[in-house]
Amino acid sequence: MQRTIYDEDHEAFRQSVKEFVDRTLAPRAEEMIRDHVIARDIWEEAGAQGFFGLSIPEEFGGAGIDDYRFNAVFAEEIGRFTNAAGSCFGIHADITAPYLVHLGTEEQKQRWLPDVAAGKKIMAIGMTEPSGGSDLAALKSTAVRDGDDWVINGSKTFITNGHQCDLAVVAVRTDPTKGAKGISLFVLEAGMEGFTKGNKLDKVGQEESDTSELFFENVRVSNDHLLGPEGMGFIEMMKHLPQERLGAAVGNLANARQILAETIQYTKDRKAFGQPIGTFQHNKFKIAEMVTKCEVTQAFIDQCVIAHSEGTLTAVDAAKAKWWASEVQCAVLDECVQLHGGYGYMNEYRVARAWRDARVHKIWAGSNEIMKELIGRDLGL
């Protein structure tokens, strides 16, 4: 079914992203997997192309575009390449940078946003803690007043871009008596005394992304590192999570559709018992089911993208998109592995890596069980 949410400007932008993928990312795919990181010069090239500054105001080095559809195009095209690159770039530009844009003071924006837009300062966001998982309100990292400063202690885990981040927006507890209303956000800079990074975590998939723990031991910061009003951190995270979840849904589905297209071609080329394996009725039916499931899912996600562009996307609909897209992606990629047979289990085939990369999407950005909880509550249950 023809998609109608994008116009000529969006498609021209899509072409520039495709060229970046073909010119820069694809030739260095094995290097990124081997080194477990996206090299700095790749970040800076993406920044120079304007991919990281879409929603950053022009006076701070961005494009100042108030149209989320451009963000969605970028997420789709990077997602078609790999979910790992999509995760790293998305955390930086689509998830963390908006906190600075919407909550930062004029001085904070001038200090950090130009380098963020240029890809010269890589951003991470520190929400998840070793003991907390999806329960953000129960975080234990603290920031305690000491004169005019704050002293931060605690740790975060599973932090995408954590190992090479220059800036980290971290959620900490500033008032232990107020529950969720006692959580605030701070911006920490790499190199601050007491702020250290763990080794890159050894993950099942998404090897290109550097994921690590962050540790805070008596990190002393002045009040100009407080992001937004004190005590409003949890509320602001809840406001920003729908965009994170929608972005994940967009990239996840784009990845599934790309690998499915490659699998369909494989079933046309691969022969068994004297005929292409795609012509066997069982395989043909499986492919028909997957194509239909992806297109139906695409229709819902496209409506969510439109709603978000218009400022009307609800947290519940974003939860539906995140949950359903990750379920569809994992189901489709599992069938694609099966259709490849033994070759589908070989790392040299993109389908194998995509299958491993996708599994985490049922867990992060709020586990799918949490997504269902949000949907159920909205139904009065």
Residues 6 or more apart in contact with residue 203 via CB below 8 angstroms = 209, 211, 360
Angle value at C-alpha 191, between 136 and 88, nearest 5 degrees: 50
Catalytic residue annotation: 244
* β-sheet bridge partners, residue 220: 151
Q: Using DSSP bridges, classify how beta strands 167-173 and 123-126 pair: parallel, antiparallel or unpaired.
A: parallel
- Inter-residue contact 211 to 158 (CB < 8 Å): yes
Separation of alpha carbons 41 and 28, rounded Å: 12
CB 318 within 8 A of CB 326: no
| 379 CB neighbour count, 10 Å cutoff | 7
The answer to whether 355 touches 206, Cβ cutoff 8 Å, is no
Angle at 36 between CA 32 and CA 37, to 5 degrees: 65
Kindly report the backbone phi and psi dihedral angles of residue 136, in degrees, each rounded to the nearest multiple of 5, phi listed first: -65, -30
Give the helix, strand, coil percentages of the chain, each rounded to 5: 60, 15, 25
Token output for 154: 């605690």
Distances (CA, A) of 341 to 270, 286, 345, 354: 10, 14, 8, 15
